[in-house]
Structure 1
Amino acid sequence: MVSYIRRLGGQVKSATHSPRDEHYSEYRGLALRLGKDQSSGGLRIVIDQKVCLLHSMGESRDDGRDSGEQIMDIEAHALADKLGQAIRERNPDLLRQIYADDIRVWHGATGSAMGKDENIGMLTAVFAISSGLEYTDVRRHDIEQGLVQQHTLVGTFDDGANMPGLNACMVIKVAGGKIASIDEYFDAQTFAPVWARLAAQPA
């Protein structure tokens, strides 16, 4: 887990995009035209969230959904709510309940994926150095087999210091009543104080 944190922290200046981000250049041009801040990865997160939202545009559906699709929407939102609850309660057992055994959690900041145990292990380490965590300003867009969620992760370290607010975007896919995959986009630089504290923890 520590090696992953170091990889993630090292992506601040050298992050690359996966081939899945086929619209990266398009959104980079858009962000530049809008005059978005490029310092400290500011442009990076603007691009990543645009790529993330591409899922909601590219997979949007018309209003003629059948009952099965409506049930899927309800299930996806319920699981996303449970994910938010697990973060708020800092509860790894709840994460284990809602994650599929073969879940794949991919991070745009590293271009690599984590399995169930590795991701829960990393989040448990974050829970251990915090006294509060919560997704705020949650916005969702329904897509096939899941949803896209934008939010800001806010929290407090265990010594009372505030964590930096982390703007993030997740593409969540569900299957069989579990979260089957998460593709997550965020600016790793923003969370540098968290990575530093995690890296300083005993192995």
Structure 2
Amino acid sequence: MSIEAIAEAFFKAIEQGDVDTLNRLYADDAGVWHNFDGITQTKAEGVQTLAQFAAVADSRYELQQRYVVGDTVIQRHNIHIRMKATGASKVIPVAVFLKFRDGKVAHIYEYLDSAHVVAEAFEGVADMSAA
């Protein structure tokens, strides 16, 4: 199976909340780094985070671009999220680098565009630039 096919299976497993497939696709020593907190999660932490997320939200990946460069898949996508309890939805632009080793996801570098989170945090706050 090509690394592009493995990447496709990986994102489908996230959408479906398929923890068994995620565990199978990750290397045992995999790391998952996020730009929003600078922390690298272990395989177990990454899978647990995705399982917890799938319990409260439905997600769908809308592929924008994907490139395979050597042992790395570089992908830009929008993740469409709908909260199960409220139906609230959000679209988050993401760029991700998946580095492979021996047919497994060995490391992920994930860059989420959090600009909308900042905008929502300040929504309704008076324009401070006029002061």
Shift of 1:160: 4.8
Asked if the contact 2:59/2:82 (under 8 Å) is kept, the reply is yes
Shift of 1:143: 1.4
| 1:1-203 correspondence to structure 2 within 5 Å | 75-130=2-57, 132-188=58-114, 190=116
What runs of 5+ residues in structure 2 fail to find an aligned partner?
119-131
**What is the root-mean-square deviation of aligned Cα atoms in Å?**
1.8
Shift of 1:189: 5.4
The 1-side partners of 2:109 and 2:54 are apart by: 21
Q: How many pairs does the alignment contain?
A: 118
TM-score by length of 1: 0.54
More strand by share: 2
The 1-side partners of 2:12 and 2:98 are apart by: 15
The change in CA–CA distance for 1:148 and 1:114 in structure 2 (over 3 A counts) is same
More helix by share: 1
Percent identity over paired residues: 25
Asked if the contact 1:103/1:115 (under 8 Å) is kept, the reply is yes
Asked if the contact 1:166/1:191 (under 8 Å) is kept, the reply is no
The change in CA–CA distance for 1:177 and 1:191 in structure 2 (over 3 A counts) is farther
Asked if the contact 1:76/1:173 (under 8 Å) is kept, the reply is no
TM-score by length of 2: 0.81
